[in-house]
Structure 1
Amino acid sequence: MTQFAIDNSWLIPFMPALAFIMIVFFLRKAPQASALFSIACIFTSFVLALGVVGGILANPTTTEHSVTWFSMPGVSLEMGTLIDPISGMMVFVVTLIALLVQIYSIGYMENDPGYSTYFAYQSLFAMSMLGLVVSNNFLQMFVFWELVGLCSYLLIGFWFYKHSAREAAKKAFITNRVGDFGFLLGILFLQILFGTLNFTDLADIIPTYTNIGLLTVVALLVFAGPIGKSGQFPLHVWLPDAMEGPTPVSALIHAATMVVAGVYLIARAFFLFVAVPNALMVIAYVGGFTAFFAATIAITQNDIKRILAYSTLSQLGYMVMALGVGGLTASMFHLMTHAFFKALLFLGAGSVIHALHNKQDIWEMGGLAPKMPVTTKTFVIAALALAGIFPLAGFWSKDEILLAALSNGYTGLYLIGTFVAFLTAFYMFRLVFVAFYGEPNPENHPHESPKVMTVPLIVLACLSVVGGLVGMPWLKTNFGSYIYFGEAHHGYSLSIMLTSTLVALAGIYLAYLMYYKKTISAEAIAHRFQPIYKLLYNKYYIDEIYQWFINRVVDGAGRVAYWVDLYVVDGVVNGLANGTKWGGYLVRYLQTGQTQHYGMVLIAAVVVIVILLGLIDPSMGIFAGGGAK
């Protein structure tokens, strides 16, 4: 079974592609059949992914299959699959989260008129992400990369009758194109410089390349793709607005698919970034800044989904920072554990929103714990995991990142990461204490969600508890250390574990005092530090700055281009046309139909020609002549 799954890994993205085709062409008017067929296909992919993981754990080697797609002298393009520990882990995570989200969606989207279309988009999204993960070259990855972007546009704007959803979908699509442009330029440079886009070939060639300056430029161009796709500063603005889509979509986008595609790309192309230390340093500081930047915004937000959205931005910053400091396995480990508890948080938020008839402001909730026991318990488990409390999954992976930063000399980033851990614990339990344990809202009549929605929560809660076991030494020896061309690992540092745990507990305790016991007034603090609070609440005014730039600079450039087009380009074209037209009028007046007029014109023309010739060359003039002989 394991060898079959590895040798036929193309079936993993093929199954959801089949579901998409069947729903679009044959099952669109059969909503229940659409959902069941989509779930059956992604379940098949999940089983195959389990086979792949089993095979890799037994024998952690690389298996590659490829066929020639296009060939001409000097250029050969291939399509294929690359299965190794990193892609094996990713197909497992993506298929598992996609499967649980689709099962959950049966209940959440039950009465939606676009039920079949929703599952078609879900299948297309899963196919795109899985195709990206198993790609063996940059060009094939870029094709699926763009498909993932298209699917996010379709799913974020799924409720297209809402103006906010349409605008959010456009914002996500356009913002990502900025990063993708740089990524595409990087791919073109790689093809020109090395004549191949195959990951394995490039991993052998790039370490021998000596023009480090040019290679640094190429690496940073490739990194532009993850800046957009994984919501790193300054292209982070699309991701919080992506909350306008259905909540299961948010879980899928924020946990296991689109946003981690950028992190996966950096990990897959790690051979490129390792060759240029300056690029790695840029990656580390961009990730560290994004982690801090997003966490400070999250502590002031009131929309339950936006709090989680900024949390995702912050955790993605953690992953990118880990890659920048050389902690490849730490980053991939956190990617996996984060997928479990972040999917759980979003699906738990969806359960709350479903029960409260689409209310999303945490201050309009309160008292949910006794009414929604399963949702509450699983949500708290996920919050503890995200905060990094022992022995939950987030504790192990977060500490591995902090250890990687400290071990490789990035003390500043270690301190930033530790402070972000404090902020993470604070804003997550601010949400928990206000929404689940706060004063009940008499207008609400919450109820627990149906089992089709709570069972995925329980499964993800279990994974959030035991997922950290992957970090135990015996499993890391068989999996983690092989995650790409080998990577040296250090054991867990007891001092870092204790420090990060105490910091997280301090964040939880502060939230407890401010929002549960209320012995510290949050309102008084916000009033005392009002300028800072307003800055954070308004997200550092980044959206407003971008809007100003578009209005002033882009619109101004557009007006200049319009003037040039109207008066210069059109002026030349219209001038030639008018000249031709007036020339025609003059010729028309000469055509009178009278022979004597034509004769006079002919004589005048001859005289003019002779005079001109005489002026040009006097020896040719009619009056030129010699004296008498």
Structure 2
Amino acid sequence: MITVASLFSVAVFAPLLGALVTGLLGRVIGDPISRIVSVGLMVVSAGCAVAALWFGLAASAQAVAVPVSTWVQAGGFHAAWTLRFDTLSASMVTMVSCVSMLIHLYSVGYMSHEKNPVHRFFAYLSLFTFAMLMLVTSDNLIQLFFGWEGVGLASYLLIGYWYDRPSAVAAAIKAFIVNRIADLFFMVGIALLFLLFGTVSYDNIFATVPEHVGASYRLFGTSFPAFEVIGVLLFIGAMGKSAQLFFHTWLPDAMEGPTPVSALIHAATMVTAGVFLLARMSPLMEFAPVAKGLVVVIGASTCFFAATVGLVQPDIKRTIAYSTCSQLGYMFVAAGFGFYQGAMFHLTTHAFFKALLFLSAGSVIHALHDEQDMFRMGGLARKLPVTCAVMWIGSLALGAIPPFAGWWSKDAIIDGAWMAGGGLGGFAWTLCTAVAFLTALYSWRLLFLVFHGRPRVPELHDHAHESGPVILLPLLVLAVGAAFGGWLLRPWYIGEHQAAFWNGSIFNAPDNHVLATLEHTQGLIALVPTILSFLGVAVAFVCYMLKPEIPAQLARSMRPLYLFLLNKWYFDELYDRLFVRPYRALARLLWHVGDETVIDGVPRGLARLTVGGSSGIVRIQTGSIAVYAFTMLIGLVVLLSTFLLVR
């Protein structure tokens, strides 16, 4: 008998099977079979995930534990390998598996001209998907950390897939190191959770949260609330995975990987892990108001920072990458106000339109023989009509133009910030509303530079051609989600059915009324973000279609500001001076002084002393019996003198 638990298990483990088959047997079965196996198992995963979510909702069951095996058993510590089925995990599994399935299918066409065998690429994609599924279906913190590190490893492998390119290798290492720094804080947070609650199981932790509300830690003679400390540490871990301000520098460099990798990382996996973490830990975060306030400040600041940088980027993929960073800021703003349902709503709609935008950008790059500079494009609408149409749909969703998907979820978050009130609410609402204008501006800047106006490099334009059906089919499917996903999902995620839909998988404290007051947002306040979005489109039309000389004039007249934005607020240069150069200097000092002088120098000095001593002794070996007798006499005198002195 097929059960929800069995469907759920197949959805999670089918990508693992695909990774093992293509990774271990790819050379034997060849690339064509590897592609079929990988894509076929992802289709199975997506189908089972949709079925499990559908039947699970119909049953209206509480969280169900699907045991897999005993994992860690050390003394009194026990951590089982168990899949947690509830609405939060099931909705994430459905989103991840469906988007990943489309990206797998797209990769068949996109990587068809790759000179090297691509079975390794498909193995990495499937491994990445499995690691993310393990993260979102975890039933305890140890299993969560396993999936957390798994997506970090898989991202390193995928970003550096073209390992013969120094830029790709550097980007992969950068992503790995930046995430490891944030993960250190995350590990400390998990350790403190275990020390406080004596367990790593979600159910056991959440059930005893009220008993530990007053707990505190003493550090440097000061007492800190335990939940605040843990909440901040968990959030710093989330900042690394979700590329929030100060830990964002790896995200644009991740564009060095193939475009399907960019889509998978930015739309469905890895960057959404931090948002999921806060939603999963909502029973604890609701009792950490200071930590939640920090989430709002960082989220709103990231939202604004990334949008300003996206305004001036010449690279098509980097522009979309900074939009991901900005949209993640919206999700964290929602989570910081306790509006976890809104954060998950925007996470889901964002998966549709962001995957669509990245894959559409890949279609453009594929048509232009790997050209990514938007200022070398132009007039491609006639050459790539389908790609142009779906990218318009994705941009309409990203720019929050009604009634496309992004409008439903992003405006709900902005309204939630306003209804939260206070200084924090005003700060978040102001920045998020301003970003609505900036998002529309850089989105239509991309569209006008790439698809409209005159061709800037005629030879590129002349050789451009529309992609094949294997590439276009996933784009058309995602375009449907970007167009109608918000309207279809709103009643379930934040509307009248949200309580029954989430069914206790997300916790809101009794004094958290953001979701309940969402519908009472004043009419004009609710319209402001939409008005600014349309204004952003209009400004982009004037600057890049009617008066294309305006951007260049602004760049010249405000050159310091232009360079500040073009160089991403100089974060990379600042980190290079503060961390990279001192670290290299210290490493060089330890190398030359510690390693060469001390560690290697002591054995070498002893060796030289031994050689020198043996050379002196060799001189005594003259072959003369008289010299030997005289030497023995001297030794006897020394021995007798020493004996007499000791006595």
CA RMSD of aligned residues (A): 2.4
Of residues 197-206 and 129-138 in structure 1, the stretch that sits farther from structure 2 once superposed is 197-206
The within-5 A match list for 1:176-325 is 176-209=179-212, 210-212=214-216, 213=224, 214-325=226-337
| Residue 4 (1) aligns with residue 16 (2) | no
Distance in 1, Cα, partners of 2:544 & 2:241: 34
Quick one: structure 1 residues 108 and 357, their matched pair in 2 at CA, closer, same or farther if it must change by over 3 Å? same
Shift of 1:596: 4.5
**In structure 2, what is the Cα distance between the partners aligned to 1:578 and 1:219?**
58
Aligned amino acid, residue 92 of structure 1? T
Q: CA deviation at 1:62?
A: 1.0
Question: Given residue 158 of structure 2, which amino acid in structure 1 is its aligned partner?
Answer: L
Is 1:115 the counterpart of 2:118? The answer is yes
Rounded to whole Å, the distance in 2 between the matches of 1:367 and 1:411 is: 42
1:495 and 1:68 mapped to 2: Cα distance?
Answer: 56
Q: Deviations over 1:256-305 (max 9, x none)?
A: 01111121112212223222211111111111111100000000011100
Deviation at 1:13, TM superposition (A): 2.3
Structure 2 alignment gaps of length 5 or more: 217-223, 622-626
Cα contact 1:239–1:309 (8 A) shared by 2: yes
Cα offset, 1:605, TM superposition:
1.3
Counterpart CA distance in 2 for 1:200 and 1:584 is: 73
Match of 2:453?
A: 438
2:468 alignment partner in structure 1? 450
- Equivalent residues of 2:404, 2:486 under 8 A apart: yes
Q: Which amino acid in the other structure matches residue 479 of structure 2? A: A
Which residues of 2 match residues 294-373 of structure 1 at below 5 A? 294-373=306-385
1:484 pairs with 2:506 = yes
CA offsets 1:467-507 (integer angstroms, 9 cap, x no match): 11211334434325744135752343344431111010111
Equivalent position of 1:65 in the other structure: 66
Per the alignment, do residues 583 and 196 of structure 1 end up closer, same or farther by CA in structure 2, a change over 3 Å counting?
A: farther
Cα distance in 1, alignment partners of residues 125 and 570 from structure 2: 33
Matched, 1:602 2:606: no
Q: Deviations over 1:379-438 (max 9, x none)?
A: 111101111111111111101211221222211111111001110011000111111112
Question: 1: CA distance between counterparts of 2:40 and 2:298?
Answer: 40
Deviation at 1:554, TM superposition (A): 1.1
Residues 232-278 of structure 1: CA deviation (Å, up to 9, x unaligned)? 11111111011111111111111001111121112212223222211
Any conservation in 2 of the 1:254–1:309 contact (CA below 8 Å)? yes
Give the 3-state SS of the residue equivalent to 2:354 in structure 1: helix
CA distance in 2, matches of 1:121, 1:555: 32
Measure the CA separation in 2 of the matches of 1:164 and 1:571: 37
1:514 is matched with which residue? 543
Query: What code does the residue aligned with 1:421 have?
Result: A
Residue 481 of structure 2 is matched in structure 1 by: 463
- The correspondence for 1:377, drawn from 385, 389, 394, is 389
Alpha-carbon distance change, 477 to 217 in structure 1, aligned in 2, over 3 angstroms: closer
Q: Match of 2:644, as an amino acid?
A: V
Alignment match, 1:145: 148
Partner of residue 499 from structure 1, selected from 528, 540, 550: 528
- What is the CA-CA distance between 1:519 and the residue it aligns to? 7.4
Q: Is the 8 A contact 1:182 1:224 kept in 2?
A: yes
Does residue 397 of structure 2 align to residue 395 of structure 1?
A: no
After TM superposition, give the deviation of residue 111 of structure 1 in Å: 2.0
What secondary structure sits across from 2:208 in the alignment? Answer: helix
Query: How far apart are 1:139 and its partner, in Å?
Result: 1.0
CA apart distance, 1:374: 1.2
Shift of 1:307: 0.3
> Which one is further off, 536-545 or 473-482?
473-482
Instruction: Specify the alignment match of 1:542 in structure 2.
Output: 571
**Correspondence 1:422 to 2:459:** no
Range moving further from structure 2, 377-386 or 183-192: 183-192
How far residue 358 of structure 1 moved from its aligned partner, in angstroms, is: 1.0
Q: 1:82 to 1:291 in 2, by over 3 A?
A: same
Stretch deviating more after TM superposition (145-154 or 64-73) = 64-73
Deviation at 1:546, TM superposition (A): 1.7
Structure 1: which amino acid aligns with 2:403? Answer: P
> Number of aligned pairs?
609
- Measured at CA, do residues 111 and 606 of structure 1 come closer, stay the same or move farther in structure 2, by a change above 3 Å? same
Which residue does 1:161 correspond to in 2?
164
Q: Measure, in 2, the Cα distance between the counterparts of 1:584 and 1:547.
A: 51
Q: How far has the Cα of 1:191 moved from its partner?
A: 2.0
> Alpha carbons of 1:496 and 1:464: their partners in 2 closer, same or farther (altered >3 Å)?
farther
What residue number does 1:627 align with? none
- Residue identity (%): 40
Counterparts of 2:478 and 2:455, CA distance in 1: 27
Aligned pairs for 1:50-129 (under 5 A) are 50-58=50-58, 59=60, 61-66=62-67, 67-112=69-114, 113-129=116-132
What amino acid does structure 1 have at the position aligned with 2:54?
A: G
Change (3 A) 1:534 1:5: same
Q: Which 10-residue stretch deviates more, 113-122 or 596-605?
A: 596-605
* Aligned-pair CA distance for 1:600: 2.3
Q: 1:477 to 1:466 in 2, by over 3 A?
A: farther
Say if 1:80 and 1:587 are closer, same or farther in 2 by CA, change over 3 A.
farther
Q: Any gaps of 5 or more consecutive residues in structure 1?
A: 611-629
Shift of 1:451: 1.3
Judged with a 3 Å threshold, the aligned counterparts in structure 2 of structure 1 residues 74 and 585 are, in CA distance, closer, same or farther, namely: farther
Which whole-Å CA distance do the structure 2 matches of 1:99 and 1:569 have between them?
53
CA 1:111/1:531 → structure 2, altered by over 3 Å: closer, same or farther?
Answer: same
The amino acid across from 2:297 in the alignment is Y
CA distance in 1, matches of 2:581, 2:549: 44
Structure-2 residue corresponding to 1:14:
13
Aligned partners of 2:387 and 2:472 also within 8 Å: yes
* SS of residue matched to 2:369: coil
Q: CA deviation at 1:524?
A: 1.6
SS in 2 for 1:258: coil
Cα 1:188–1:578, aligned 2, differ >3 Å: closer, same or farther?
farther
The answer to whether the 8 A contact 1:402-1:496 is kept is no
> Following the alignment from structure 1 to structure 2, what is the Cα–Cα distance between the partners of residues 192 and 402?
37
Identify if the C-alpha distance between structure 1 residues 476 and 126 changes in structure 2 by more than 3 Å, giving closer, same or farther. same
Tell me which residue corresponds to 2:178.
175
Query: Partners in 1 of 2:628 and 2:406 — Cα distance?
Result: 96
Deviations 1:191-245 (A, max 9, x none): 2232211112111223321224233222222222211111111111111011111
**Secondary structure of residue in 1 paired with 2:366:** helix
Mapped partners of 2:443, 2:56: distance in 1: 36
Please identify the structure whose Cα radius of gyration is greater: 1
CA shift in 2, pair 1:172/1:394, >3 Å: same
Between the aligned partners of 2:285 and 2:336, the Cα distance in structure 1 is: 9
Deviation at 1:570, TM superposition (A): 5.6
CA distance in 2, matches of 1:338, 1:166: 28
CA contact (8 A) 2:4 2:56 kept: no
Alignment partners' CA distance in 2, 1:477 and 1:391: 24
For residue 164 of structure 2, give the secondary structure of its aligned residue in structure 1: coil
* C-alpha displacement of 1:551: 4.8
Are 1:326 and 1:404, in contact at CA under 8 Å, matched by a contact in 2? no
Q: Once the 2 structures are TM-superposed, how far is the Cα of residue 582 of structure 1 from its aligned partner?
A: 8.2
Cα offset for 1:158?
1.2
Question: Is the CA contact 2:415–2:526 (under 8 Å) kept in the aligned structure 1?
Answer: no
